[in-house]
């Protein structure tokens, strides 16, 4: 039985002047799926993701996120998604508890619900004893895990993760991915961009962007077979070699 | 609304956690008032002077005595030659020298054209001017006591009355100035930095993805600074009334209302800066260049605008602090009512409307 699609795009395009950052991408993401979004720097991943989050208006094409149109139903989309940016997105001068409270609060959660969620989340992350610690004092890996848990504190339909594990050691990355699996098991769709090809293998399906286009989209195993490679690294290198862009002109 | 309150609380925590900045914000106005009030005063008191008396008669001694007794001067030296006068100036021992020529009293009583020379250190022109004025008026007074009966057939006597500030206190001028400066700085600079900080940290992106309305985010960020400014206004007013004896002559309610208007103008300037600046440094620098210096130079608080060349006078009209400075002086010092300041108020309100309009127009709901 086909599962319902939570993200559907059709020829979605974003141009900045003469530069086409995202070039007619079409794909669908199913509910509860872990969808990897891979590409070299400047391939257009971040721009594509921003359009889906309602931060950036597409130039042409169509897209719906959680059933809402990205052109018109921006506000509804925002209520139904979570977002973790590649820059670290917690407030360093606030404590763990205050950060949770703030993000839960701006999504309009009830006070009672915020308390329940805070307790649950602290327990899950084994951070009960540190709840009064300023985020500044936490190791990077902890911050990352906390940022992810906070991004889904309001139980969104979809969470967008923009290179969430940059600069983190392999062990913490594994722990981070176990959090992702837990969230996916609860029915939250995960849309994740990454540089790490081992992480690409953790995804249910992977799309590889080259120069603003999606050049490959399938299960990691199928891609490896198709490109006759033992790892996602090999697949990515074969595709990325075709790229003509070098720098990310947007950032 | 609840989200809004949560945001304001969070913003307050940022300020509260950064104790050093909070301390500076709250103490800056107090320190400025104390500095301007007691240390950096441009009133002239106890200036050191020397006398070169070549006549040494009854009249010169009397005049020297009068000058030395005044609170403006402190006679530190008698010199006996022009070389001596010059040497004393060179050493920086005195600001003013009084030179009486030979036969002063004889000239005064018989020739009717006695002369006194006042030599002032004009490397500081304003002080030199003030000192020579004071000295001349003391000498004139002496002349009057000497010849009270000698009334000329036609005389013009000037009678001077210093309105609003009979004691010519500097505080009457700088208290409004410091208020304008502090409010501009706290509201515009601090809010612009606070907004840009979120952009730099990457948290702005996360908030923009949330259902919070972008313009509410901005308003929420300004509210704690508005509160800090209110505390500052209170401390400036209390200090000026109780420490500097500058009374609030006009309506306190009107003064506070006008201050709130100016605070909102400053906040809008800050929002506008935060729209264009990408880093905290840029925000800080833009604020310094576009707010701090113009406020200092063009509000009329340090340098009289009337004396500026026409292009600068035109520029000064664009500085919100200039209008607020006029309002505070009118209401606080002169005790005038709203009818006297409605024009300035209207200018501030229109500036705010334009600034906010441009900000809203430029503020991007979608980042790109």
Residue A82 zone, left/alpha/beta (φ > 0; ψ -120 to 50; rest): beta
What CATH class is the domain A5-240? alpha beta
Asked if the Cβ–Cβ distance from A54 to B366 is below 8 Å, we say: yes
Q: With an 8 Å Cβ cutoff, is A90 touching chain B?
A: yes
With CB atoms and an 8 Å threshold, state whether B366 touches A56. yes
**CA pair distance A91, B118, nearest whole angstrom:** 66
Residues of chain A in contact with residue B3, where contact means CB-CB under 8 angstroms, are 105-106, 108
B174/B77 Cα distance (integer angstroms):
35
Domain boundaries, chain B: 2-40+169-362, 47-146
Of the candidates B203, B211, B367, the beta carbon closest to that of A91 is on B203
CA dist list (Å): B109 to B58, B67, B115: 12, 21, 12
Do A81 and A157 form a contact (C-beta atoms < 8 A)?
A: yes
How do A19-30 and A5-16 pair as beta strands?
Answer: antiparallel
* Token pair in block for residue B345: 């108020």
Closest CA to A241 of A251, A233, A250: A233
DSSP β-bridge partners for residue B351:
none
What pLDDT digit, counting tens, does each position of B318-361 carry? 999 999 999 999 999 999 999 999 999 999 999 999 998 888 77
pLDDT tens digits, B120-134: 998 888 888 888 988
Q: Do A94 and B17 touch (CB under 8 A)?
A: yes
B10 near A CB under 8 A: yes
Closest chain A C-alpha to B359 CA, distance in angstroms: 18
The correct CATH number of B47-146 out of 3.30.1280.10, 3.90.1300.10, 3.20.10.10, 3.40.1710.10 is 3.40.1710.10
Residue A104 CA, chain-centre distance (Å), reads 19
Which parts of chain B fold into alpha helices (H)? 2-17, 19-34, 58-69, 82-90, 104-106, 125-146, 171-184, 191-201, 203-209, 214-242, 252-276, 280-287, 293-298, 310-316, 320-328, 338-362
Tens place of pLDDT for every residue, chain B, 368 residues?
Answer: 788 999 999 999 999 999 998 998 899 889 888 887 776 666 677 889 999 999 899 889 999 999 988 888 999 889 999 999 999 999 888 999 999 999 888 888 887 788 899 999 988 888 888 889 888 888 888 887 876 655 566 767 777 787 887 777 778 888 898 889 888 888 888 888 888 888 888 888 888 888 888 778 888 888 999 899 999 999 999 998 998 888 899 999 999 999 999 999 999 999 889 888 888 999 988 888 888 888 888 888 888 888 889 999 999 999 999 999 999 999 999 999 999 999 999 999 999 999 988 887 777 654 54
- The CA distance from B236 to B241, in Å, is 9
Asked if B203 is an interface residue toward chain A (Cβ–Cβ < 8 A), one would say: yes
Q: How many CB pairs under 8 A join A and B?
A: 84
Of B6, B17, B203, the CB nearest to A105: B6
User: How high is the mean pLDDT in each 10-residue block of chain A (251 residues)?
Assistant: 82 91 94 92 87 90 94 91 84 94 92 93 91 91 91 94 85 91 94 88 93 91 90 87 63 40
Q: For B32-47, what is each residue's pLDDT tens digit? A: 888 877 766 666 778 8
Residues 286-325 of B with CB under 8 A from A: none
Distance between CA atoms of B106 and B108, rounded to whole angstroms? Answer: 5
Q: CB of A15 within 8 Å of any CB in chain B?
A: no
Q: What is the ipTM of this complex?
A: 0.85
- Give the closest of B13, B211, B367 to A50, CB-based: B367
């Amino acid at each position: 039985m086909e599962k319902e699609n939570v993200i559907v795009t059709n020829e979605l395009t974003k141009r900045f002047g003469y530069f086409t950052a995202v070039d007619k991408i079409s794909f669908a993401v199913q509910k509860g799926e872990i969808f990897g979004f891979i590409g070299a720097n400047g391939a257009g991943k971040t721009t594509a993701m921003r359009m889906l989050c309602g931060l950036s208006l597409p130039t042409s094409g169509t897209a719906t996120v959680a059933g809402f149109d990205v052109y018109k139903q921006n506000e509804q989309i925002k209520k139904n998604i979570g977002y973790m940016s590649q820059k670290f997105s917690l407030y360093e001068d606030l404590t763990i508890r205050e950060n949770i409270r703030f993000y839960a609060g701006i999504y309009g959660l009830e006070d009672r619900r915020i308390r329940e969620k805070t307790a649950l989340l602290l327990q899950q992350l084994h951070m009960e004893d540190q709840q009064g610690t300023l985020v500044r004092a936490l190791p990077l890996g902890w911050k990352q895990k906390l940022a992810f848990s906070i991004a889904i504190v309001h139980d969104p339909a979809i969470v967008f993760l923009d290179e969430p594990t940059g600069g983190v050691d392999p062990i913490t990355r594994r722990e981070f991915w176990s959090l992702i699996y837990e969230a996916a098991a609860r029915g939250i769709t995960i849309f994740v961009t990454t540089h790490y090809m081992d992480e690409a293998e953790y995804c249910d399906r992977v799309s590889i962007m080259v120069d603003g286009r999606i050049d490959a989209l399938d299960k990691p195993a199928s891609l490896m077979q198709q490109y006759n490679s033992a790892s996602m690294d090999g697949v990515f290198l074969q595709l990325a070699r075709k790229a003509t862009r070098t720098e990310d002109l947007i950032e | 609304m609840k989200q809004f309150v949560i945001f304001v609380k969070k913003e307050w925590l940022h300020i509260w956690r950064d104790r050093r900045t909070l301390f500076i914000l709250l103490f800056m106005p107090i320190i400025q008032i104390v500095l301007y009030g007691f240390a950096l005063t441009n009133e002239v008191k106890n200036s050191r002077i020397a006398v070169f008396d070549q006549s040494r008669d009854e009249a010169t001694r009397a005049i020297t005595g009068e000058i030395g007794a005044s609170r403006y001067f402190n006679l530190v030296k008698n010199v006996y030659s022009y070389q001596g006068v010059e040497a004393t100036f060179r050493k920086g021992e005195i600001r003013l020298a009084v030179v009486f020529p030979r036969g002063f009293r004889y000239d005064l009583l018989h020739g009717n054209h006695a002369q006194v020379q006042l030599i002032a250190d004009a490397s500081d022109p304003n002080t030199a001017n003030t000192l020579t004025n004071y000295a001349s008026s003391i000498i004139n007074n002496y002349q009057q006591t000497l010849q009270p009966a000698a009334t000329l057939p036609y005389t013009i006597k000037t009678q001077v009355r210093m309105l609003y500030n009979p004691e010519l206190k500097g505080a009457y001028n700088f208290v409004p100035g410091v208020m304008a400066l502090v409010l501009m700085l706290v509201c515009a600079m601090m809010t612009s930095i606070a907004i840009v900080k979120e952009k730099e940290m990457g948290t702005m992106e996360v908030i923009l993805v949330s259902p919070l309305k972008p313009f509410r985010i901005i308003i929420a960020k300004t509210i704690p600074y508005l509160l800090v400014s209110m505390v500052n206004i209170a401390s400036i007013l209390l200090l000026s009334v109780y420490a500097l004896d500058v009374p609030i002559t006009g309506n306190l309610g009107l003064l506070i209302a006008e201050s709130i208007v100016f605070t909102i103008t400053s906040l809008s300037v800050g929002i506008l800066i935060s729209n264009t600046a990408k880093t905290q440094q840029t925000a800080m620098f833009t604020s310094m260049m576009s707010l701090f210096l113009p406020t200092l130079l063009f509000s009329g608080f340090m340098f009289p605008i009337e004396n500026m060349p026409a292009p600068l006078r035109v520029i000064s009209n664009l500085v919100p602090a200039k209008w607020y400075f006029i309002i505070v002086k009118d209401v606080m010092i002169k005790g005038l009512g709203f009818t006297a300041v409605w024009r300035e108020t209207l200018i501030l309100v229109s500036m705010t409307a334009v600034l906010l309009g441009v900000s809203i127009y430029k503020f991007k709901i979608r980042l790109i």
